[in-house]
A and B are shown apart, each in its own frame.
Chain A
Amino acid sequence: MSVFTRSQAEREAQLLPELAELTAHHRASSEGYDRILTSLGIAPNAPFATIADLPWLPVRMFKTHDLKSIPDDEVFKTLTSSGTTGAGASRIYLDKDAAGAQTKQLGATLQEVLGGERLPMLMVDTIGIIKNRRSFSARGAGVLGMANFGRKHTYVLDENDQPDVEAVKKFLAEYGDKPFLIFGFTFMVWLYLYEVARDHGLDLSNGILIHSGGWKKLIDRAVDNTEFRRRFKEDTGLTRIHNYYGMIEQIGTVFLEGPSGNSLYCPDFADVVIRDPETWQEQPVGKPGVIEVVSTLPRSYPGHVLLTEDLGVYNGIDDGDWPGKHFSVLGRLPKAEARGCSDTFSGAAA
């Protein structure tokens, strides 16, 4: 069952009623969310003509306020993440159903490129990242979440964060002649897998790489997505590379890079809206704007329509590897800074 099947028209037809129902559900279940929409003058049961007409929340709301649509005693899991902007961590509340749904849908999304079986897996990280089960970094949570989709996990970095070339060679000797899964954060994949594989002449041609995390740390190395793909292909034989875009505030929903590369696609239960930051209207194909992510998954908290702090651009609609809109992430919005009488950074005075 592929989850990359719906054309944009089908998406509007299928998702809009679901999202409108979700909006009503969150209004009924989350007083804070209802107050926001009421303040904006949006009547209960207001009709929405298109997905782009749905009211959005800035993703940072989950850093500043507890917004949830379930009673306290039904909270099964609280996810926290500290993003790179501003203080505080997002707090996302899941009940049992939501926790199950997000795992299931992430699996369905990745199945598109991994197939139905669990593959032997190379983790481009250190096992230390998931050792402490009590407090996870966002990276640890990502590694742990992804580990479910593989078996025979081998970690590329040793306990001292040094590449363990022997471990990788051993893994490849054992599993490298059939499809295997590689997971890691983009910059680590580049630093610890690409460079090691190139220097040791490792063959990764049967690998399927899933990676995420942005390009900021690779800018000074002049590596963008195109270069990343080209070099992996030329120097290691790895061609099945899928970047993905997702965030903890919409856990379980990932926008996945298509087989031909350089564009991200929406799974059938999700959509994306690129907005002009001046008018907040939807941008046409080719015009950059702020990325809004839309998903039917968030039912336990009002995170179904979120304005991110990332800039992106539509590359096309219904004309790519898979149906629907496809887009690229261009980078982060610069941080809002104000001058004022108070020093807003700590330790300024001493």
Chain B
Amino acid sequence: MTSLEQRFPVAEPVEVGSLLDEVRAEPSGGRLTVGDPRVVEFVTKFARKLLAPALARRYPELASLGFFLRKGELAKALSTLETSGDSLRFPRGLVFHVPPANVDTIFVYSWALSALAGNSNVVRVSSRSAGAAEAVLEALNAALDDVSPEAADVIRATQRMVTYDRSDEVSGALSLAADLRVIWGGDGSVAALRKYPLAPHARDLTFPDRSSFAVASVRGWQEATPEQRRGAAEGFYNDSYWFDQAACSSPRAVFWVGDAAGARVAGEEFRALLASVLEAKQHVTEPAMAVQKRVSAYGAAVDGLVSAISFDGNSLATLELTDATVMPREWLGAGTFANAHLASLGELVPLVLRKDQTVAQFGFTRDELVEFVTELAGRGVDRVVPFGSALTFAGVWDGYDLLAEFSRLVTVQS
């Protein structure tokens, strides 16, 4: 028997059967509801801890998380669940979350939205969880002492974050007990978890491997002020370098859209600005990463994908695509960008795959972007965001309205 280490609320190791009995028991203060005030109270207190200056300075990604979970934001998100007419909204029940091992904060977004929808949750936290994840667990446990007894009791009764070694028995039991299973961590994780059957009524919410790219309007760049251009480079830095460009939302290719001569000039200006941002941020690329980037870049050259490679120090590698219609979607190393010119956004349409998630954009009008997405007609792309917002998590992710997915509708006709 594998026992589970209980990270939140902190408790003695437990067998999976007992854990399931506990979270499925009727809580003493009454069942959780959609937007349950006890959960809102707890999450708000927890968010405040994340926004404490000392913590936010150490882990900037926790500040974004804290911001996302502030009281006003929660109210706004929950307002989208209000029903009218014949429909009433209820929690799904028990949700089993398998977050990625190497993005420290995703498990919190996944858990918090599910808890706000009124679900009992079991979250598998990676044993390899690093600094930010540890800080999150600490803040969660500390928040239990800051809330009303009613809130603390119901959270303790219904929410669990656990760590366990690879185990068919545990993953199997949690899968079978879940009303909804949420799998992050890419294709590999989805395939591994799909081995475990769900109850007939249950379903999976999967977040497979995704890739993202950026588009910049030559006209928009030409019309932008020096400050706006600098801002674009800074935003792009955050989009790309925060998670070593390995986050699914980080752009891996940049398309300059407009006339060829303008695209060349704009691309060069942007590259110089990005290099100066990297310098200002004192961005350090480890030697091993610098070598990795060369392996990838040279490999792309061998494969005939790129016609020119240029390095601005170790931090920035720019690969000119031989053919703009063949973009690399795989990770090529932190700070490695394929670069190409297109005459119009429309040229991108046939290239887009279902796998494409985020389009970071600079300099386009809303109408241009809506037209582009309309032309895509669902081929791919889940979100279009301005430079600087690629990594900003939202309640709608990978095409799913998460709060809606975490709840269900009951209709009443008298």
Contact = CB atoms under 8 A, between A and B. Distances in A.
Interface in A303-350: 307, 309, 333-336, 338-350
B341 to A, nearest CB: 17
Interface residues of B, number: 61
A336 B289 contact: yes
Contacts of A38: 301, 307
Given A58-B298, A65-B299, A349 B291 contact: no
B118 interface: no
Contact of B189 (A58, A64, A277, A349): A349
A61 B298 contact: yes
A60 B295 contact: yes
A343 B333 contact: no
A349 B245 contact: no
B345 to A, nearest CB: 25
A340 B331 contact: yes
A67 interface: yes
Given A339-B103, A342-B248, A349-B193, A290 B287 contact: yes
Nearest to A307: B291
Contacts, number: 145
B243 A339 contact: yes
Contacts of A347: 166, 192
Nearest to B193: A349
Contacts of B287: 277-278, 290, 333
Interface in B292-317: 292, 294-295, 297-299, 301-304, 306-310, 313-314
A4 to B, nearest CB: 30
What DSSP secondary structure best describes chain A's contact surface? loop
A218 interface: no
Contacts of B185: 341-343, 348-349
Contacts of B292: 60, 336
Most chain-A CB neighbours within 10 Å: which of B98, B171, B288, B289? Answer: B288
Most chain-B CB neighbours within 10 Å: which of A32, A36, A277, A342? Answer: A342
Given A278-B314, A336-B289, A344-B102, A350 B309 contact: no
A60 B193 contact: no
Contacts of A334: 286, 288
Contacts of B314: 277-278
Given A341-B103, A345-B101, A348-B185, A57 B298 contact: yes
Contacts of B196: 350
Nearest to A35: B301
Interface in A2-33: 32-33
A201 interface: no
B182 to A, nearest CB: 12
Contacts of A346: 188
Interface string A48-71: 000000000110110011010000
Contact of B195 (A277, A339, A343, A350): A350
Contacts of A335: 288
Given A277-B287, A290-B291, A340 B301 contact: no
A277 B101 CA distance: 30
Given A347-B192, A348-B185, A339 B246 contact: yes
B295 A64 contact: yes
A274 B192 CA distance: 44
B270 interface: no
A66 B333 CA distance: 21
A333 B288 contact: yes
Interface string B76-108: 000000000000000000000010111110100
A148 to B, nearest CB: 33
B99 to A, nearest CB: 10
Interface string A73-114: 000000000000000000000000000000000000000000
Contacts of B288: 309, 333-336
B301 A39 contact: yes
A57 B184 CA distance: 36
B302 A36 contact: yes
A256 to B, nearest CB: 26
B126 interface: yes
Given A36-B302, A39-B306, A343-B100, 20 more contacts: A39-B301, A41-B310, A277-B314, A333-B288, A338-B243, A338-B245, A338-B289, A339-B102, A340-B243, A340-B248, A340-B331, A341-B103, A341-B207, A342-B246, A347-B192, A349-B190, A349-B192, A350-B166, A350-B171, A350-B196
21 contacts: A33-B302, A39-B306, A65-B302, A277-B287, A277-B290, A290-B291, A307-B291, A338-B244, A338-B245, A340-B243, A340-B248, A341-B106, A341-B185, A341-B247, A342-B100, A343-B185, A345-B101, A348-B126, A348-B185, A349-B190, A350-B193
